[in-house]
C-alpha cells in the first residue's frame, strides 16, 4: 500500500503539489518554506554599528523578498523562513546588539503594521521590510530575527546591560500586521540571547487553516512549548524556523521534522538554514503521511519548497493507483500478541548476561556489545541472520525486532537500545529502540554516521516505552525519508513496521522522549 505513495517524495527539488482528484475548496492550503544559504558576517564577534548591521541584513532580506514573490506566483498563503537567516550566527552578546530590532511587549494587542507605520518605534527596520513583504505577497509570513527589550535594573532578572536580547520569531498577517512574536525557550549555546522568564505559548489564527503554533529549532526536543501547544491549545499546524546541525543516524533535521508530524498527527512547516560546513540542511513541509522536503549536504544552494496540504491533517488520505487509501495507525501484529514480556527478567538479561535474546525457536542468548551512538552508550546485538526475532532491554525498556533481509549483503546491522539521560549538547531523557546500519564490518563501527546502504530489510519494531511520546524515524540510503506501513500504540507497546522498501535501510528507530525525567 505505502510503496505506491513514494511518488509524493521529491527531495532536492522545488515543487508545487496539485492533486486535482481530491482538491476541495477550504480543505487544503498552499504552504511555502525556504531553506536559505545566509550571507554571513565575516567577523561576527567584532563590534559594529546599526548602519553596517542593516547593510548585511538587507542583503539577506533582498533574497527573502524574491522568494516571497516566487511563492506568491505559486499561490502560497503562508511562508516560513529559517532561524538566524537574517543576521547569521556566532555573535557575542555585545556584538549582536546593532543587529537587534525592537518589538513592543504588547504586540498581541497593538495591531501594529510596521509597513504602514514605520516610525512608530525606533530600530524596527527589519520588521518593516518583513511586514511589507507579507503585504506585497498577500501571505502570512514567519521569520526569525534578533530582538531587544529594555528592562529596569530593579528587575532581579534584568541583565547588567539593561536589556533583554531574544531569539525571536515574528509572525505577520497577509496585510502586514505584526500578529505575534515568539521568543525561543530552549537556547542551544546561544550566549548572545536570554531565555524568557516565562514560556511563550504563541498561537495565531489564519482564514485558511485556523490555528498555527510557533517554536524554534532546539525547542522541538522539549515539552515546553512544543508539546504544550499541541496538547493544550489543540494546534494542528506548526511553523518551525531552525538552524539545525544534522546528526546521523537518528537526528537529521528531516528525521525529527518527519517524526514530529507523524507522532503528533499534525502538519509541520520547517525551514532550516543551509550551511554544509556546519552540517546544516534539511527543510520540508510535512503532513502525517506525506513529505515534501529538501536535503543536500553536497551543494551550496538554497531551496524554496511549495506544497498543498490538508487543513485537517487527521482526516488526511492519499491517492494510490487512482484509489483513495486511508492511513492506518493501529494494527494487530501477531508478534505483539505472541511474545510475552517480563520487565524484571528483561532487565536482568542485560545487566547480568549482557546478551540479547532470540525469540525464534529455542531461547538463544546472543552476545551483546556496547557502542557509542550520538554520544550515548547503546547496548547492541548484531543482526547477522537472514531473518529472525530479537529482544533487547535496558532497564525497564524492552525492544523487539522481527526482521527479514530481502537480499543478502555483507553490510553489518545492529539492533540497539538506550534508556537514559542524554547529556552532550543538551540534557534530555530518551528511550530508543533502533535498527541501524553500521559504518563498517566491525562492531565498533555501529552507531557511526552512515548515509548509504544497499540492504533491503522488512521489519517490525516495537517496545514497551515508559513515555507516551514516541516518534517513528525511518531513513533510507542517500538520506531519504520513508514512512512506516503502520505505526502507533497497541496496548503497552509502540510499534512500526515496513515492507518492500525501494532503497537500502540506514536507520529505523522509535525515538521516545520521557520529558518528565529531564
What is the set of active-site residues?
83, 184, 217
Phi, psi of 13 (to 5 degrees): -135, 155
| Cis peptide bond prior to 230, omega within 30° of 0 | no
CA distances from 462 to 251, 272, 417, 496 (A): 19, 31, 11, 6
Question: Which of 100, 94, 101 has its CA nearest to residue 47?
Answer: 94
Count Cβ atoms within 10 A of the Cβ of residue 516 and give its class: 0-12 exposed, 13-18 middle, 19 or more buried. Answer: exposed
Which helix (H) or strand (E) element contains residue 309? strand 303-310
The count of C-alpha atoms lying within 13 angstroms of the C-alpha of 158, restricted to the half-sphere facing its C-beta, is 12
Measured between alpha carbons, how far is residue 64 from residues 83, 98, 220, 305, 420 in Å? 13, 20, 24, 13, 42
Burial of residue 229 (CB within 10 Å: 0-12, 13-18, 19+) is buried
**336 CB contacts (<8 Å, ≥6 apart)?**
462, 490, 491, 493, 495
DSSP code of 328?
P
Q: How far is CA 484 from CA 211, 452, 466, 472, in A?
A: 28, 19, 22, 8
Q: What are φ and ψ of residue 416, in 5° steps? A: -130, 160
Spatial contact of 83 and 273, defined as CB atoms under 8 Å apart:
yes
Rounded to the nearest 10 degrees, the angle between the axes of helix 125-137 and helix 50-73 is: 10
CA distance 59 to 54: 9
Q: 459 in helix, strand or coil?
A: strand
Amino acid at each position: 500500500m505505502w510503496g505506491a505513495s513514494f511518488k509524493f517524495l521529491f527531495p532536492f527539488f522545488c515543487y508545487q503539489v496539485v492533486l486535482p482528484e481530491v482538491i476541495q475548496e477550504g480543505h487544503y492550503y498552499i504552504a511555502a518554506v525556504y531553506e536559505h544559504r545566509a550571507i554571513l558576517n565575516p567577523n561576527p564577534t567584532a563590534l559594529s554599528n546599526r548602519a553596517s548591521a542593516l547593510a548585511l541584513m538587507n542583503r539577506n532580506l533582498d533574497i527573502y523578498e524574491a522568494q516571497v514573490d516566487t511563492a506568491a506566483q505559486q499561490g502560497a498563503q503562508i511562508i516560513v523562513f529559517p532561524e538566524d537567516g537574517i543576521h547569521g550566527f556566532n555573535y557575542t552578546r555585545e556584538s549582536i546588539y546593532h543587529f537587534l530590532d525592537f518589538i513592543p511587549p504588547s504586540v498581541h494587542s497593538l495591531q501594529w503594521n510596521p509597513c504602514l507605520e514605520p516610525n512608530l518605534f525606533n530600530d524596527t527596520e527589519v520588521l518593516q521590510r518583513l511586514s511589507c513583504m507579507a503585504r506585497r505577497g498577500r501571505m502570512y509570513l514567519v521569520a526569525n530575527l534578533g530582538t531587544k527589550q529594555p528592562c529596569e535594573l530593579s528587575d532581579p532578572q534584568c541583565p547588567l546591560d539593561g536589556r533583554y536580547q531574544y531569539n525571536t520569531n515574528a509572525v505577520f498577517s497577509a496585510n502586514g500586521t505584526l500578529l505575534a512574536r515568539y521568543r525561543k525557550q530552549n537556547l542551544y549555546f546561544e550566549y548572545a540571547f536570554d531565555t524568557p522568564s516565562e514560556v511563550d505559548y504563541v498561537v495565531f489564527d489564519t482564514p485558511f487553516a485556523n490555528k498555527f503554533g510557533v517554536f524554534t529549532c532546539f525547542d522541538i526536543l522539549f515539552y515546553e512549548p512544543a508539546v504544550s501547544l499541541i496538547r493544550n491549545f489543540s494546534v494542528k499546524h506548526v511553523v518551525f524556523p531552525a538552524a539545525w546541525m544534522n546528526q546521523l543516524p537518528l537526528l537529521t533535521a528531516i528525521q525529527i521534522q518527519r517524526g514530529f508530524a507523524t507522532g503528533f498527527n499534525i502538519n509541520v512547516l520547517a525551514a532550516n538554514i543551509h550551511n554544509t560546513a556546519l552540517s546544516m540542511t534539511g527543510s520540508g513541509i510535512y503532513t502525517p503521511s506525506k513529505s515534501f522536503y529538501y536535503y543536500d549536504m553536497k551543494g551550496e544552494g538554497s531551496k524554496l519548497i511549495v506544497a498543498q496540504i490538508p487543513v485537517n491533517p487527521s482526516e488526511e488520505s492519499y491517492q494510490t493507483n487512482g484509489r483513495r487509501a486511508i492511513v492506518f495507525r493501529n494494527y494487530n501484529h501477531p508478534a505483539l500478541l505472541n511474545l510475552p514480556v517480563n520487565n524484571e527478567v528483561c532487565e536482568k538479561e542485560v545487566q547480568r548476561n549482557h546478551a540479547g535474546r532470540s525469540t525464534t525457536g529455542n531461547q538463544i542468548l546472543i552476545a551483546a556489545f556496547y557502542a557509542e551512538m550520538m554520544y550515548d552508550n547503546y547496548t547492541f546485538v548484531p543482526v547477522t541472520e537472514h531473518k529472525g526475532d530479537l529482544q533487547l532491554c535496558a532497564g525497564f525498556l524492552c525492544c523487539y525486532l522481527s526482521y527479514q533481509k530481502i537480499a543478502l549483503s555483507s553490510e553489518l546491522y545492529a539492533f540497539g537500545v538506550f534508556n537514559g539521560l542524554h547529556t552532550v549538547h543538551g540534557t534530555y531523557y530518551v528511550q530508543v529502540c533502533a535498527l541501524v546500519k553500521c559504518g563498517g564490518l566491525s562492531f565498533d563501527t555501529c552507531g557511526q554516521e552512515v548515509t548509504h546502504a544497499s540492504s533491503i530489510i522488512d521489519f517490525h519494531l516495537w517496545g514497551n516505552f515508559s513515555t507516551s511520546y514516541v516518534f517513528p524515524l525511518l531513513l533510507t540510503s542517500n538520506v531519504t525519508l520513508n514512512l512506516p506501513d503502520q505505526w502507533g500504540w497497541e496496548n503497552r507497546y509502540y510499534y512500526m513496521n515496513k515492507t518492500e522498501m525501494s532503497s537500502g535501510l540506514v536507520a529505523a528507530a522509535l525515538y521516545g522522549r520521557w520529558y518528565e525525567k529531564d
